[in-house]
Amino acid sequence: MIQVRHLHKSFNGQQVLEDINLQVKKGEILVILGESGTGKSVLLKHLIGLLKPDQGSVLIEARDITKMSERELLGLRKDIGYLFQEGALYDFMNVFENIAFPLREHTAFDGKIIRGKVENILKLIGLEGTGEKYPAELSGGMKKRVALARAIILDSRILLCDEPTSGLDPLRSRDISDLIRDVARKLHCTTVVTSHDIQNSLRIADRLALLQNGRIAAMGTPSEFKASNNVFVKEFIS
């Protein structure tokens, strides 16, 4: 479970997040919606300890990560898969080596076990047989799939995805959204996705939170959002 309590964050005197309170249940998919610049990515970075709040707390499995040392955070991050907005693949590594990188860094698995795990994950994301390709040879959608595979290769209990459909056409956006939902369900990940893609978000989310001016303006299930009388919600999903 993830809990955020009364979180505040500002940069250079400008308030970015103000009194954020939310809870993500175990195995749930929460999508954080909002226009660009509303603080979605900033909030996501607090969930992995890349940023510390000015006030408030972030609890992962009842442990307040805002009070953790860098060493403790490094241990925690092994259980958290993070899909960066840009994918952040290593151009000098092929697909296989990109996905295998966390296993080589954080486990003592031998080459045979690593190969088996990478091949299994390639099947899961629909890219079987592409291990020898390099990022420059991949489409935008394929790069996102590889980045997702690398994010979950350590059997992550928590999956954080920052604008996963950014830069993709509508068809590829739908494919990646469906893949995130399917992977999260199959691996029983607690998942938080930031997005401005309302249609795909409504399809994959268990619940949604809508950020406006650094505050949560609304929270609820997709059905509740569609039926909402909140003016901002109606404008955003129309």
List pLDDT tens digits, range 79-120.
899 998 776 889 999 999 999 999 998 888 999 999 999 999
pLDDT digits (tens, 9 = 90+) for 177-222: 999 999 999 999 999 999 988 999 999 999 999 999 899 999 999 9
Which range of residues forms the domain containing residue 4? Answer: 1-79+193-238
pLDDT digits (tens, 9 = 90+) for 44-83: 999 999 999 999 999 999 899 999 998 999 888 888 999 9
* Position 238 pLDDT exceeds 80: no
17 CB neighbour count, 10 Å cutoff:
26
Determine, yes or no, domain membership for 94: no
If one counts the domains in the chain, the total is 1
Residue 88 is predicted with a pLDDT of 80
Percent of the chain whose pLDDT exceeds 90: 73
Of 111, 193, 107, give the one whose Cα is nearest residue 155: 107
Confirm whether 51 is domain-assigned: yes
Q: What's the confidence (pLDDT) of residue 87? A: 63
Residue 46 covered by a domain: yes
Quick check: 166 pLDDT over 90?
no
Looking up residue 222, the CATH number of its domain turns out to be 3.40.50.300
Structure tokens at 233: 């919600």
| pTM assigned to the model | 0.92
Q: Where are the alpha helices (DSSP H) in 17-169?
A: 40-46, 70-77, 95-106, 111-124, 140-152
**In angstroms, rounded to a whole number, what is the distance separating the alpha carbons of residues 28 and 25?**
5
Whether residue 238 lies inside any domain: the answer is: yes
